[in-house]
Amino acid sequence: MQITYYGHSCFLAEAGGKKLLFDPFISPNELAKQIDINNIEADYILLSHGHADHVADAATIAKRTGATIIAAYEVAMWFAAKGIEKYHPMNTGGKWNFDFGTVKCVNAAHSSSLPDGSYGGNPMGFVITAGTESFYYSGDTALTLDMQLVPLYKDVSFAVLPIGDNFTMDVADAVEAAKMIKCNKVLGVHYDTFGFIKIDKAAAIAAFAKNNITLLLPEIGETINL
Ligand code: NI
Ligand code: MN
């Protein structure tokens, strides 16, 4: 599966012949100045929760591309009220078959409010299946035993996990998460963007490697095959 990293927790997955954009926070990201959101194509925009560092560019990109926003009910309705016509509301525990594959919404231990303070419902992670490939994006979350459920649903080939600490799991917790998920390939996100979440990348890669897990930290704008 082709994955393009756009900084913070934003990435584009090309799955099931469609472009799935996750948690777009690009134009306000000082580290992603070289990325022009007008060049990003998307068929779907998946939002793990309502925080600004996950939804900042969602409306702009959805309006230009006609992408469908997939998010918790409260987040989806907030975008609907802003004039987004294509949206699919979901909630934790639910799954839906889309034209690219299946989205299963799973627990995330975090909070969720929209940029204007509106209630955002529950934060979520996603288990995505497209054809024979599956992956897990946890969204912002603490390490939680709920992650043990992921391998019961799907044998995921990689996981996208926050590693920046302070607001989410740190590296050590993300290593434990990968073990629970039974996954030896992790795309690390939610680090370095702000002062609170700066990490030592080499130390992070080494901590995962010690547990026979590959931590991938692509450059912003880089496309990798997973
Ligand atoms: Ni958050
Ligand atoms: Mn966040």
pLDDT at 204: 98
pLDDT at 134: 98
pLDDT at 181: 98
Distance of CA 133 to the CA centre of its chain: 17
Instruction: Calculate how far, in angstroms, residue 203's C-alpha sits from the geometric centre of ligand 2.
Output: 22
161-214 pLDDT tens trace = 999 999 999 999 999 999 999 999 999 999 999 999 999 999 999 999 999 999
Instruction: Calculate how far, in angstroms, residue 131's C-alpha sits from the geometric centre of ligand 1.
Output: 30
Task: Give CATH superfamily name and number for 2-225.
Answer: Ribonuclease Z/Hydroxyacylglutathione hydrolase-like (3.60.15.10)
Q: Do 217 and 205 contact (CB within 8 A), yes or no?
A: yes
Pairing of strands 133-137, 214-216: unpaired
Average pLDDT over residues 14-35: 97
77-128 pLDDT tens trace = 999 999 999 999 999 999 999 999 999 999 999 999 999 999 999 999 999 9
Average pLDDT over residues 130-134: 93
Tokens of 87: 């949206």
Instruction: Calculate how far, in angstroms, residue 220's C-alpha sits from the geometric centre of ligand 1.
Output: 20
pTM of the model: 0.98
25-43 pLDDT tens trace = 999 999 999 999 999 999 9
- DSSP per residue over the chain, as a string? -EEEE-STT-EEEEETTEEEEES---TT-GGGTT--GGG---SEEE-SS--HHHHTTHHHHHHHH-PEEEEEHHHHHHHHHTT---EEEE-TT-EEE-SS-EEEEEE-SS--B-TTS-B----EEEEEEETTEEEEE--S----GGGGGHHHH---SEEEEE---SSS--HHHHHHHHHHHT-SEEEEES-SSSGGG---HHHHHHHHHTTT-EEE-PPTT-EEE-
Instruction: Calculate how far, in angstroms, residue 130's C-alpha sits from the geometric centre of ligand 1.
Output: 26
Pairing of strands 223-225, 2-5: antiparallel
Cα gap 42→19, rounded to integer Å: 5
Instruction: Calculate how far, in angstroms, residue 167's C-alpha sits from the geometric centre of ligand 1.
Output: 7
Ligand nearest to the CA of 49: 1
Who surrounds ion ligand 2 at CB < 5 A?
51, 53, 140
Angle separating helix axes 171-181 and 201-209, nearest 10 degrees: 30
